[in-house]
Amino acid sequence: MLYKIEVIPNVYQFTFRYANVFLIVEDKLTLIDTGVRGNSKWIIKFIRELGRSPEDIQLIVLTHNHFDHTGGLGFFCKITRAKVAAPKIDFTLDKNIIPYPGYVSNLLSVPGFTLIKKRWILTAKDVDVLLEGGEEFPVLGGLKVIPTPGHTSGSISLYSAKKKILFVGDAIKKRAGLHLPLKTNTTDVGQAIASIEKLAKLDVDAICFGHGRPITKDANGRLAQLLEKVRN
């Protein structure tokens, strides 16, 4: 089952199987992450209800290389000519390095899981633009790429200073409050804490997460509380 939220005007969150996809509606359309397989038909239906076409999707940005954020990419690439941008570190790993924590990495290294590994881990071949951090897209008055490693080595967040909206992927976990990503799903906890320190310096009115509903009230205060918690 899918639900939809308008986070701020013309920025929509779609949630399917607890994974979020964000659609930014301007002259051109932008997707942030693509969620898991199976969500695409609802997103396309909504785009058409807006009087727009799937071909209006010009840009797809992936926050990191995990299947619940990249699962719908193949479908969207088939029906659009969108450029795909993603963090270089996550998508140019040595073939023996997996952007998942230990237990998943060990599982995917077993020969019998080769097919799953191909579906779960994309490579530079699947991406048009490899991001190193600091890039800015002409979206939402300027959407800046901020490296926020920890959950994965290459995880990024996206920030619009003009709209004061922040997309954090899985750099922050939201469930009954804000938290670091789960240690069992994180490659480097020290990096994850450093990323929170970086994000807490931003001026934000809205925070969008890879999982869970967005925050649109006291976003700065919530980030400050999270920073205090992780420092302690």
Nearest to 229 by CA among 169, 173, 179, 154: 179
Please state the pTM of the whole predicted model: 0.90
From residue 22, give the alpha-carbon distance in Å to each of 77, 86, 143. Answer: 16, 15, 13
Between CA 124 and CA 111 the distance in angstroms is 22
Q: Is the pLDDT of residue 103 over 50?
A: no
Q: What is the pLDDT of residue 208?
A: 98
What is the per-residue DSSP string for 195-230?
Answer: HHHHHTTS--SEEE-SSS--B-SSHHHHHHHHHHHH
Q: Is the pLDDT of residue 117 over 90?
A: no
For the ranges 10-19, 51-60, 174-183, the lowest mean pLDDT is seen at 174-183
Average pLDDT over the chain reads 89
Helix (H, G, I), strand (E, B) or coil at 88: helix
Q: What is the pLDDT of residue 232?
A: 82
Q: What is the pLDDT of residue 190?
A: 93
Q: Is the pLDDT of residue 183 over 90?
A: no
* Residue 119 and residue 142 in contact, taking contact as beta carbons nearer than 8 Å: no
- pLDDT-based confidence at 132, cuts 50/70/90? very high
Instruction: Give the Cβ contact number of residue 38 at 10 Å.
Output: 13
Between CA 178 and CA 84 the distance in angstroms is 29
Rg (CA), the chain: 17
Average pLDDT over residues 100-104: 53
Q: What is the pLDDT of residue 99?
A: 59
Q: Is the pLDDT of residue 104 over 70?
A: no
Q: Is the pLDDT of residue 89 over 50?
A: yes
**Residue 222 or residue 187, greater confidence:** 222
For the record, the structure tokens of 72 come out as 């719908």
Instruction: Give the Cβ contact number of residue 49 at 10 Å.
Output: 8
What is the per-residue DSSP string for 137-197?
Answer: ESSTT-EEEEE--SSSTT-EEEEETTTTEEE-TTSSEESSSEEPPPGGG-S-HHHHHHHHH
The label of the residue with tokens 């010009």 reads: 58
pLDDT tens-digit series, residues 137-175 = 999 999 999 999 999 999 999 999 999 999 999 999 998
Average pLDDT over residues 118-130: 82
120-159 CB burial, b ≥16 within 10 A, e <16: bbbeeebbeebbebebebebbeebbbbbbbbbbbbbbbbb
Give me the percent of the chain exceeding a pLDDT of 70: 88
pLDDT tens-digit series, residues 39-87 = 888 899 999 999 999 999 999 999 999 989 999 999 999 999 999 999 9
Give residue 195's domain range: 2-231
Q: How far is CA 152 from the centre of its chain?
A: 12
Q: What is the pLDDT of residue 207?
A: 98
Domains of the chain: total: 1
CATH code for position 197: 3.60.15.10
For the record, the structure tokens of 96 come out as 């023996």
For the ranges 30-34, 98-102, 214-218, the lowest mean pLDDT is seen at 98-102
